């Protein structure tokens, strides 16, 4: 778990935080997987659409950042 939080932290010093923020949303996926496998807590009905909204908004922000740089 520490590896998944250390690598983004190290790489975020090299780039702007706003361009790397969408990649930090992988934490939602890992929390869901670990919650199910370790604790036996299946994701409820709102987890998947909520994660999709969060991920899509992050990807849209990333898209806007790349368009602004060019």
Any residues with CB less than 8 A from the CB of 23 and at least 6 apart, and which?
Answer: 8
Position 20 scores a pLDDT of: 66
- Give helix then strand counts, H and E, for the chain: 4, 0
Position 52 scores a pLDDT of: 87
Residue 44 lies in a domain: yes
Residue 61 lies in a domain: yes
Residue 52 lies in a domain: yes
Residue 39 lies in a domain: yes
The whole-angstrom separation of Cα 11 and Cα 9 is 6
Range of the domain at 64: 16-69
Are 43 and 36 in contact by the 8 Å Cβ rule? The answer is yes
Any residues with CB less than 8 A from the CB of 16 and at least 6 apart, and which?
Answer: 65
Position 57 scores a pLDDT of: 84
Number of domains in the chain: 1
Ranges of the chain with pLDDT below 50: none
Residue 30 lies in a domain: yes
Residue 21 lies in a domain: yes
Which pair of structure tokens corresponds to residue 34?
Answer: 């670990």
């Amino acid at each position: 778990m520490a590896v998944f939080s250390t690598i983004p932290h190290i790489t975020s010093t090299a780039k702007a935080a706003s361009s790397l923020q969408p990649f930090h949303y992988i934490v939602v996926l890992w929390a869901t997987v670990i919650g199910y496998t370790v604790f036996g807590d299946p994701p409820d009905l709102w987890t998947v659409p909520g994660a999709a909204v969060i991920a899509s908004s992050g990807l849209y922000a990333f898209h806007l950042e790349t368009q602004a740089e060019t």
